[in-house]
Amino acid sequence: MWLPDTGVQRGNVKSIKGDISTFMFPSYEGGYHSSEEELAKIAPKIPVIPIPYNDIKPIHALIEADSPSTPEGWGNYKIGPSNGEIELNVKTNDTLALCRNIIGVIDGAVEPDRYVLVGVHRDAWIHGAVDPVSGMSTILEISRAFGEQLKTGWRPRRTIIFASWDAEEPGIMGSYEFAEDFMTGLKHKAVAYINMDSAAGGTQMIRMKSTPNLISLLYDAAKKTDSPKAPYKTMYDFWIGTEKEYNDIDYHLPPVQL
């Protein structure tokens, strides 16, 4: 992703995932939450704010002026120390907000106690066209198609759980609290989780991430899916062909990130 020098990549640096006011326990409205005094003990002590590259230039100039050398492997990028002083003012609002996960379930016909989860968060820092709307719209269409199949009497072999997670951007809260709440059942019954976050971000290439035991499944599905891009016949052909076209790499198998 390329941004102008005024662009900001939002995110969070919270080391504790989920709702820190219910650490190790699921978060429920009306349930126990840590007091402000207790939260102060585990909340980050160093103020952090994302800033664009344009604003970092004068700070980097201070560092370059005083930095004695560049660490090996860092090119010409100097990291200090510096005698310069910078004042950073961060204003935050510490408030509790209500977050809701939306869950849909289709009971399996043969193995109802085996779960296949398909999920994506629906919150975004700004408009979220790619992250997460591309994935959320995909799940909505999949669930609609499955709903039409249910009307014909069809049922999946295993139970399918569709999940729309809330509050992912501030700290992966929705999915994390769900896992804390249903940890025992998920450990024993969950077969696979398919994450649909940022499902589409262009039409030039395919990028896949998977645990090793599902890689062959990705290959099989790609070989059975027609490609809308000529001259490739299947999505598998498109996948391996574009790697050679754009990266000049002739893979025997398409690459999958772990």
Residues with catalytic roles: 168
Q: Phi then psi for 193, rounded to 5 degrees? A: -125, 125
Q: Residue 167 is which amino acid? A: A
DSSP string, 11-36: ----SS-S-GGGTTS---TTS----H
- Please, which residues bridge with residue 190 across strands? 115
User: Structure tokens of 8?
Assistant: 């900001």
Question: In 10 A of CB 229, how many CB atoms?
Answer: 13
Question: In 10 A of CB 94, how many CB atoms?
Answer: 8
User: Structure tokens of 246?
Assistant: 């754009």
For 146, half-sphere exposure in the C-beta direction (CA atoms, 13 angstrom radius) is: 19
Whole-number Å distance between alpha carbons of 100 and 105: 16
- In the three-class reduction of DSSP (H, G, I as helix; E, B as strand; rest coil), residue 165 is classed as strand
Query: How much is the CA Rg of the chain, to the nearest whole Å?
Result: 23
User: Structure tokens of 68?
Assistant: 């004695």
